[in-house]
Structure 1
Amino acid sequence: MVRGVRAVVGVAVALPFLLGAAAGDGASGRPVLRFEDPDVVESSGLALVDGLLVTTNDSGDSGRVFAVDPTTGQTVGVTAWSPAPEDVEALAPAGDGDVWVADTGDNRAVRDSVEVLRVPVGRGDVDAAPERYELVYPDGARDAEALLAHPVTGQLFVVTKGIFAGEVYAAPLRLRADRPNRLVQVADAPGIVTDAAFLPGGGALVLRTYTNAHVVAYPSWEPLGWWELPAQDQGEGIAVAGDDLWLSTEGARSQVLAVDLPPAASAADLAGPAWSVWRWLATARGLPL
């Protein structure tokens, strides 16, 4: 019965969205910045942390993330670590000036396990020794380019990059550094997902591919609709910035573009149970909503 109610609510929220499939900016986008750092050549993940835009290069780079001033496009801090990762593909906000780094790429599907790291970011260069957590799929190796961190609970979700369809795997709510953390499949995903991000309330999320964005309700994982993204050479990054989505692509001195979130996406987010919890906590602590 609960699932049926969720489905009805999902259809009601999504209907105007689905009828206007090109909600948002469709095939256009507004320039936000251009990465000026010559070392940022394959932006493959985005996260906004304390007013800075954090990005990372795709596979083949050393262990490092770049903190970029969004008003100038200049790198203002680099956090580095060793040993070098195998294939970093995504970032997600981790709170308290940190980001989650997803070393989850596996094009040949040969890795017995993958890894996420909690890395400090900010202005200035830092050599870090980040916390590392091993993740193991329940059904064999997968290639994944998207990592989600729920804004209220902090739980991590890995989204795989299948050609025709992918899967969403949930990590344990509390990760253990002293042993492998087993993932559990919780939902299906569209094919060729290259990045993902929760909306601020935690009641909805956006999955991006090279060409489209898909809005999904949480925790039902019901798809609510999709729209076309601006053309990018190899779009592999997404971050939520207020009522906008910021999109990055691989390539030297590449641009970050902004597109509007469809109203239905924000409506779904505000209807989510996580937003109600956050609103209650914020009110109890006297925080602005």
Structure 2
Amino acid sequence: MRRVAVGVVVALPFLLGAAAGDEPAGNRPAFRFADPEIVESSGLTVAGGLVVTTNDSGDSGRVFVVDPASGATLGVTSWEQDPTDVEALAPAGPGHVWVADTGDNRQVRDSVEVLRVPVGRDDVTVTPAAFELVYPDGPRDAEALVSHPVTGRLHVITKGVFGGTVYAAPARLDPRGPNRLEAVADAPGIVTDATFLPGGGGVVMRTYSRAHLVAYPSWEGLASWDLPPQDQGEGVAVSGRDLLVSTEGARSQVLAVPLPAEAGATDLRSPAWTALRWLATARGLPLTAG
């Protein structure tokens, strides 16, 4: 019942967004991937001030740590077992990222997998912790994974043509699995990546052409706007007051897109930012979202 009720609330802003949303001013190039091995940047996240990306399906098990100032690769973390279809990345605590092996275009996989992978400025080979995920209603194709910045709880967002679904993972993942997902909300169609805002009060979901801001934990749609044209935009991450958006293709360019005012207002209502505001006020320090 909760999923249906939330879906009714969320669907209207998603539908109205195409008419109401505009592309924010100030879009600009951030950097260009310099590594010729990065040919299909599909997932994107920020870890310790560095950008982490991964290639789409067909690549070996590896993630690239990139300097956002130059676009140069600083380190590659690899693992021996080849994934089925890696599609997304999310923060996983200091020095680690979640790798989402959740792609399933034909919707035939009995289960999917997330891996917790260390990242840094060196080339290393690791054996990452792996966690099996199972949908409650059959196989789904998913290209977005988000990790709450306070609780660490994972959510998988599926990629349906006319609409997707947000699934919550268990609060604590069991490495022995399977970890059963729970449907909690509806999502717009063709979501190719997503990211939490820094305080955990909202989520930005991207499609090939638009961005959708929703509140957390209600998943209520708040804003929608055009993204700059990209050949196949499949990555999004938050960096300061901007979104970083990436696209597939060799030596592709990553763009910086300013977050709308609604993003700051949404995040400032989150429990994490509420605590930070209280602390800053008590110490007489300035505090701004982003």
TM-score by length of 1: 0.89
Is the deviation greater in 117-126 or in 266-275? 266-275
Q: Conserved in 1, the CA contact under 8 Å of 2:18 and 2:225?
A: no
Q: Which amino acid in 1 is paired with 2:166?
A: V
Cα displacement string for residues 161-210 of structure 1 (whole angstroms, at most 9, x for unaligned residues): 00000000000111010121000000000000000000001011100000
How many residues get paired? 277
| Corresponding residue SS for 1:248 | strand
Structure 1 residues 5-40: Cα deviation after superposition (integer angstroms, max 9, x where no partner) = xx9xx99xx9xx9799445536x7310100010000
Could you tell me which residue of structure 2 aligns to residue 213 of structure 1?
211
Equivalence map 1:101-116=2 (5 Å):
101-116=99-114
What TM-score do you get using the length of structure 2 for normalisation?
A: 0.89
Residue 92 of structure 2 aligns to a residue whose secondary structure is strand
Equivalent residue, structure 2, for 1:55: 53
SS of equivalent residue, structure 1 residue 41: coil
Deviations 1:118-170, CA, capped at 9 Å, x for gaps: 00001010101100000000000000000000000000000000000000000
Matched, 1:241 2:243: no
1:228-265 deviation digits (Å, cap 9, x = unpaired): 00000000000001110000000000000011100011
* Counterpart selection for 2:78 from 77, 80, 94: 80
Give the residue type in structure 2 aligned to 1:25: P
- CA apart distance, 1:272: 2.2
Which stretch of structure 1 is more off in the superposition, 270-279 or 246-255? 270-279
Partner deviation per Cα, 1:90-128 (whole Å, 9 max, x = no partner): 000111100000000000000000000000001010101
Could you tell me how far apart the structure 2 residues matched to 1:84 and 1:285 are?
50
Q: In structure 2, what residue type is equivalent to 1:260?
A: P
Q: Which residue of 2 aligns with 1:25?
A: 24
Shift of residue 276 of structure 1? 2.2
Distance in 1, Cα, partners of 2:222 & 2:28: 24
The code of the aligned residue for 1:103 comes to D
Matched to 2:201, the amino acid is G
2:231 is the alignment partner of 1:226: no
Q: Distance in 2 between matches of 1:203 and 1:45?
A: 22
The share of aligned pairs that are identical, in percent, is 69
1:89 corresponds in structure 2 to 87
Aligned to 1:275: 273
Q: Which runs of 4+ in 1 moved over 3 A?
A: 17-24, 277-289
SS at match of 1:117: strand
Question: How large is the RMSD of aligned CA atoms in angstroms?
Answer: 2.6
Q: Which amino acid aligns with 2:24?
A: D
Q: Which runs of 5+ in 1 are unaligned?
A: none
- Cα 1:158–1:285 change in 2 (3 A) is farther
